[in-house]
């Protein structure tokens, strides 16, 4: 199996809890992906330390060194990805908008997780906006990355309730737990070549088209 594992880079900007969830899953011998690089746009991203402690190669491409030259910033990231023979890019709390040129190089080979049920609440402050809008359900989405932010074919989503006394923080914590469940699974589906993208629709070739896993905390829809 090891020889066939897809070579994955995880891009982060901060604490890297989704990265950690994926690294944990990747410890299983059956997991179809190997995390070979963790790259951050901030030298103090906490997740860098976590990855380094696990012996994973880390790299910093500090956006502040590029003074608004997004093409040059993205080109540097791309160079690192190529140097590590990366086959799949996983954005996990990576807080920079990538240029269309870069995104185009990774079509259907780059995933993102967003803390809302897309297409609702693209962008920032998703938990606050879900509460303010009176949503009864909130959640998270794993999608393939396209040039428009938080758009792109949806691979899987998890829905959690919005409770009457929720604050943005309490809702974020509930959603984050669901993120940690779906993102490793989503990465495994793509790395295991179980996924076909047809326009905006994603077909999962895993026995059945759709799997619904429920527990008391979340509805997870693959
Ligand atoms: C997550 O909520 C993710 O959905 C969003 O940024 C946050 C990153 O958290 N894109 P972490 O760094 O993975 O802990």
Q: Please work out whether the CB of residue 139 comes within 6 Å of at least one atom of ligand 1.
A: no
pLDDT (0 to 100) of residue 174: 97
Distance CA 222, CA 213 (A): 8
> Quick check: 105 and 89 in contact, CB under 8 A?
no
CATH class of 1-106: alpha beta
Q: Please work out whether the CB of residue 14 comes within 6 Å of at least one atom of ligand 1.
A: yes
pLDDT tens for each residue of 139-177:
999 999 999 999 999 999 999 999 999 999 999 999 999
> Quick check: 43 and 62 in contact, CB under 8 A?
yes
Strands (E), the chain: 6-12, 33-40, 57-60, 88-91, 110-114, 137-144, 154-161, 195-198, 201-204, 212-214, 219-221
Q: CATH 3.40.50.170 region(s) of the chain?
A: 1-106, 113-222
Confidence of residue 209 (pLDDT cuts 50, 70, 90): very low
Q: Please work out whether the CB of residue 32 comes within 6 Å of at least one atom of ligand 1.
A: no
Residue with the smallest CA separation from ligand 1 atom 3 is: 93
Instruction: Say if domain 113-222 classifies as CATH 3.40.50.170.
Output: yes
pLDDT (0 to 100) of residue 198: 96
Read off the pTM: 0.94
Confidence of residue 68 (pLDDT cuts 50, 70, 90): confident
Please check the confidence at residue 212 and state whether its pLDDT lies above 70. Answer: no
Structure tokens at 96: 């920079």
Paired strand residues for 112: 91, 143
Confidence of residue 205 (pLDDT cuts 50, 70, 90): confident
Pocket test residue of 129, 149, 154, 176 for ligand 1, highest count of atoms within 8 A of CB: 176
Give the mean pLDDT of 14-31. Answer: 97
> Quick check: 189 and 206 in contact, CB under 8 A?
yes
């Amino acid at each position: 199996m090891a020889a066939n594992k897809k070579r994955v880079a995880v891009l982060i900007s901060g604490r890297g809890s989704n990265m950690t969830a994926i690294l944990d899953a990747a410890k299983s011998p059956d997991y179809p992906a190997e995390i070979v690089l963790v790259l951050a746009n901030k030298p103090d991203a906490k997740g860098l330390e976590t990855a380094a402690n696990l012996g994973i190669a880390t790299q910093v491409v500090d956006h502040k060194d590029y003074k608004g030259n997004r093409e040059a910033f993205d080109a540097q990231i791309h160079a690192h990805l190529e140097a590590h023979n990366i086959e799949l890019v996983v954005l996990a709390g990576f807080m920079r908008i990538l240029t269309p040129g870069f995104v185009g190089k990774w079509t259907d080979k780059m995933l993102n997780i967003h803390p809302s049920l897309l297409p609702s609440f693209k962008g920032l402050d998703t938990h606050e906006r879900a509460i303010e809008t009176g949503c009864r359900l909130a959640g998270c989405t794993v999608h393939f990355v396209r040039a428009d932010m938080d758009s792109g074919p949806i691979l899987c989503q998890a829905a959690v309730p919005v409770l009457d006394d929720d604050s943005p923080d309490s809702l974020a914590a509930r959603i984050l737990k669901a993120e940690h469940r779906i993102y490793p699974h989503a990465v495994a589906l793509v790395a295991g070549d179980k996924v076909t993208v047809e326009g905006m629709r994603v077909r999962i070739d895993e026995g059945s088209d759709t799997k619904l896993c429920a527990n008391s905390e979340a509805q997870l829809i693959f």
